[in-house]
Amino acid sequence: MAVIKQIRIAMKNRPGALAELCTELAKRAVNISAIQANESAPDTIRLVATPLDVAKKVCEQMQLDFREETAIAAHLADRPGSLGRLTRKLAEKNINIEYVYGSIGKSAERALVIIGVDNVDAAARVLK
């Protein structure tokens, strides 16, 4: 578990918008390790990207509004109950989960899960 930085980007929900952003990030060798986009907030994208400072410069050059956020990154075993145990620890300390997203490759042993909480510092202490 680690406290990480991500960017939240406001962009128009239109065909090709995400492709343009991803293409520009790729041109600058920015790797996206996690991404969130959903239909309830179609004009908002969250990215965990490396190097983050270059990703922010790309957003500036594309004239996209963005802000840096902190979140929790957890690598969880790919088996039933892993996410439940982690989220239970947060619940027991009254830490609210505002969003969660993640991914896992077919041959990976662990999933990457990004968790936005109302108190990142407290969550980091709980999940040590």
- Per-residue pLDDT of 49-103, as tens digits, reads 999 999 999 999 999 999 999 999 999 988 899 999 999 999 999 999 999 998 7
Burial class, 116, CB count within 10 angstroms (exposed 0-12 / middle 13-18 / buried 19+): buried
Q: Which amino acid is at 90?
A: L
Burial 40-64 (b: 16+ CB within 10 A, else e): eeeeebbbbbeebeebbebbeeeeb
Cα distance between residue 34 and residue 36, in whole Å: 7
**pLDDT per position as a tens digit, 61-70:** 999 999 999 9
Kindly list the structural domains of the chain, giving each domain's residue range(s) and its CATH number in brackets, ordered by start: 2-69 (3.30.2130.10), 71-126 (3.30.70.260)
According to the model, what pLDDT value does residue 100 have?
94
Confidence of residue 106 (pLDDT cuts 50, 70, 90): low
* pLDDT higher than threshold 90 for residue 115: no
